[in-house]
Amino acid sequence: MFLTLFVALLFAQTPDAPKPKPQPAPPAYGGSTRQESGPLELQGDTLGESADAFTARHPKAQCDTSAKPRVTCYQWEGVSIFGMSANASATCNLKKKYAADCLQGLIAKFTSEGLVSLVYTVGGIDKTAATEELKKKFGKPFIESREGTSWNIGDYTASIVITKPTDGLGDTTLITITISGS
């Protein structure tokens, strides 16, 4: 009994091993120093938000609900981002959403988890202003080239890409700005 009490007393007096000092979290993949976690936000829309919240902010959006719980909303009229405006036909609608004159605008994709992808497409050849704005918001990009810039922030990505439509889909060079997440 004395031996048991002695061992218990010995262990009670032994200091705990030193605890390591907390280390700051490593920067997000790509070296982002701004928004390092949480759902991404662009122009007031946040990944994860509901389709109802999105359509309240975008009353001109037209939503395809035929594949619920997946919902895709399109807006062609009154779309702009970082000083660049979409120039889509006034006749754009869900039936002709892939027509050459309806490529520019806004597309929001939803699942049961909420908003998972937000894409702005506008005409243009210079992504400099948009890139600088997203650098302020998301920090240093993971990839940067003349044709595209990309950020990886945890489970989320943001990108700006310059493309030229092919196969008779027009001859306007497009700038596509996207946020998406899992």
Can you tell me whether residue 86 is helix, strand or coil?
coil
Query: By percentage, how much of the chain surpasses pLDDT 90?
Result: 68
List all residues 6 or more positions away from 129 whose beta carbon is below 8 Å from its beta carbon.
82, 83, 84
Q: Is residue 39 included in any domain, yes or no?
A: yes
**Do 117 and 156 meet the contact criterion of CB atoms below 8 Å apart?**
no
Q: Is residue 131 included in any domain, yes or no?
A: yes
Question: For 145-163, what is each residue's pLDDT tens digit?
Answer: 999 999 999 899 999 999 9
- Domain range spanning residue 146? 32-181
Check pLDDT > 90 for residue 174.
yes
Q: Is residue 138 included in any domain, yes or no?
A: yes
Gap between the Cα atoms of 148 and 173, Å rounded: 13
**Do 51 and 45 meet the contact criterion of CB atoms below 8 Å apart?**
no
pLDDT at position 169 is 56
Q: Is residue 61 included in any domain, yes or no?
A: yes
Question: For 116-142, what is each residue's pLDDT tens digit?
Answer: 999 999 999 999 999 999 999 999 999
Domain total for the chain? 1
Lowest mean per-residue pLDDT among 7-21, 92-106, 125-139, 159-173: 7-21
List all residues 6 or more positions away from 130 whose beta carbon is below 8 Å from its beta carbon.
81, 82, 84, 160, 175, 177
Q: How confident is the model at residue 37 (pLDDT cuts 50, 70, 90)?
A: low
Question: Which whole number is the average pLDDT over 61-86?
Answer: 95
Q: Is residue 18 included in any domain, yes or no?
A: no
Can you tell me whether residue 117 is helix, strand or coil?
strand
Lowest mean per-residue pLDDT among 48-57, 145-154, 161-170: 161-170
Q: Is residue 3 included in any domain, yes or no?
A: no
Element (H or E) spanning 13, and its range?
Answer: helix 2-13
Query: What does pLDDT average to over the chain?
Result: 82
Q: Which segments within the chain are labelled E, that is strand?
A: 41-42, 45-46, 62-67, 70-75, 80-81, 84-85, 105-111, 114-123, 143-144, 148-153, 156-163, 174-181
Question: Which whole number is the average pLDDT over 62-68?
Answer: 94
Q: Is residue 109 included in any domain, yes or no?
A: yes
Gap between the Cα atoms of 3 and 82, Å rounded: 76
List all residues 6 or more positions away from 136 whose beta carbon is below 8 Å from its beta carbon.
34
pLDDT at position 176 is 97
154 against 169, higher pLDDT:
154
**Do 17 and 136 meet the contact criterion of CB atoms below 8 Å apart?**
no
Nearest in space to 96 (alpha carbons), one of 169, 163, 164, 179: 169
| CA dihedral (42, 46, 181, 151) positive or negative | positive
Q: Is residue 22 included in any domain, yes or no?
A: no
Question: Which whole number is the average pLDDT over 77-100?
Answer: 94
Query: By percentage, how much of the chain surpasses pLDDT 70?
Result: 76
